[in-house]
């Protein structure tokens, strides 16, 4: 044995911590941390915390996946719905009679589907301008009906009551006369 190794062995056997090169490094055999027959493992609290973190991550990922699928389906049906509305809306816009426009109609669509529409028409404070709520329902065999609603403003002189129109126009004239430009 060399002189250095014999010096280290003597200092370890003597318990001299000043000459101990491994002093300060935790040792499993020191200070009662070693219990014979016990293996190193995770505690129950550590396992439960890790399971809770994993469960929360799984819920968040699952909700994100469902949200992506829902948005994907909505993105696929939106253009089809816009195409159907492009067929229904002109029927309302071309209707010269207010009563028939409010009653609505039934209209066949491609793909053996049927659309029903109706509208609520309300006069505004401006002559010949109407607030329209356009409601529709599209029936497709084997599926539940798709419904929707749009609100917009329409300028329709043919829908106005002539007496009411003149009252509104006179009120508009008076409001304009009071303004200073």
- Average pLDDT in the chain: 82
Cα 14 to Cα 9: distance, rounded to the nearest angstrom: 9
Interatomic CA distance for residues 115 and 103, integer angstroms:
14
Measuring CA to CA, how many Å separate 42 from each of 30, 46, 47, 55, 149?
A: 21, 6, 7, 18, 59
165 or 1, greater pLDDT:
165
Rounded CA gap, 103 and 91, in Å?
A: 12
Give per-residue pLDDT as tens, 153-177.
Answer: 999 888 888 888 888 888 888 888 8
Instruction: Kindly report, residue by residue over 16-60, the tens digit of the pLDDT.
Output: 555 555 565 555 555 556 666 777 889 999 999 999 999 999 999
SS3 160: coil
Q: Are 103 and 91 in contact (CB under 8 A)?
A: no
| 83-96: pLDDT as tens digits | 778 888 888 888 88
Ordered by where they begin, the domains of the chain are 65-178 (2.20.130.10)
pTM of the model: 0.52
């Amino acid at each position: 044995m060399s002189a250095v190794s014999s010096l280290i062995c003597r200092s370890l056997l003597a318990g001299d911590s000043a000459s101990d090169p491994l002093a300060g490094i935790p040792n499993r055999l020191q200070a009662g941390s070693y219990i014979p027959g016990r293996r190193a493992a995770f505690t129950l609290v550590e396992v439960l915390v890790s399971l809770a973190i994993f469960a929360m991550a799984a819920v968040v990922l699952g909700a994100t996946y469902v949200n992506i699928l829902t948005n994907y389906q909505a993105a696929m049906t939106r253009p089809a719905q816009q195409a159907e509305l492009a067929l229904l809306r002109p029927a309302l816009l071309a209707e010269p009679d207010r009563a028939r426009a409010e009653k609505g109609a039934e209209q066949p669509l491609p793909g053996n589907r049927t659309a029903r529409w109706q509208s609520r028409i309300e006069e505004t404070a401006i002559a010949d301008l109407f607030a329209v709520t356009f409601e529709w329902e599209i029936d497709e065999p084997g599926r539940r009906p798709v419904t929707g609603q749009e609100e917009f403003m329409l300028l329709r002189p043919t829908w106005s009551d002539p007496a009411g129109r003149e009252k509104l126009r006179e009120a508009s004239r008076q409001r304009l006369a009071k303004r200073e430009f």
